[in-house]
Amino acid sequence: MNDIGAFFLWDIFPYIALASFFIGIIVRFARNRFSITAKSSELLEKKQLMVGSILFHVGIIFVFFGHVVGVLIPKAFTDWLGIPNEMYHIGALVMGGLAGFMALAGMIILTYRRFNNKRVFITSSFSDLVVDLSLLIMIVLGLSASLIEGPFFHPEFNYRLNLSVWARQIFMLKPDFHLMQQVPPVFQIHVICGFLIFAFFPYTRLIHALTLPWQYLFRSPEVYRRKPSIRGDQYRG
């Protein structure tokens, strides 16, 4: 890829995707907020939904925060803490691998359920089908990059020296596309797919992730009192 294409892909496209993400969320909440919650298909099939949903959501939450830590914490900080680079990578591979395979197992179950169960498939929108396949491909790419391409084909690659630096530069509004040209292909595709998901996030059922009832974590506990039985009242009387 020439420098013009690389410049657009790594210095311009991320901001297009993020603009679509934030503007889409604002517009959808303002104009059609009652369409935000995801349609439940629990009445059509429950067992696979419960197992797949729990595995996927637990796994993807750990994967997400693992990505955040990997991007936001620079190598210099862990070096200052005295954490060897090898130990950091082993911990990231083990924890990220476990979370990734958990998310993958859940997504395989959910995707199989959506395409194989006739009632679920018929009631699914085109967007639902695309979202399931996109998330499945995204997870497979992430695991392939971390567990196959990196260790076996590019053992010298250290994402903290280029990919993570580039990602932090996005927030500083000065990304350097040359850094991403040093990144192996599967990692690049994984990043592109991630930004595509961000771009289409507000226009799919994925937006229901923003409607989680966070208020239940901070509200005061409710006290329930048992209603006295009639027999007990008569006995005390």
What residue numbers does the annotated binding site cover?
57, 67, 190, 208
Quote the longest CA-to-CA distance of the chain: 91
- Amino acid, res. 166: W
42: three-class secondary structure by DSSP: coil
Annotated binding-site positions for heme b: 57, 67, 190, 208
Amino acid at 28: R
The whole-angstrom separation of Cα 176 and Cα 236 is 80
**CA nearest 135: which of 55, 194, 62?**
194
Which tokens belong to 86? 């090898």
Nearest Cα neighbor of 67 from 138, 130, 125 is 138
Q: Compute how many other C-beta atoms are within 10 angstroms of the C-beta atom of residue 58.
A: 14
Task: Say if CB 187 and CB 149 are below 8 A apart.
Answer: yes
Q: Fill in the DSSP letter of residue 160.
A: G
- The pair of structure tokens assigned to 194 is 């991630």
Q: Of the candidates 17, 9, 15, which has an alpha carbon nearest to the alpha carbon of residue 195?
A: 17
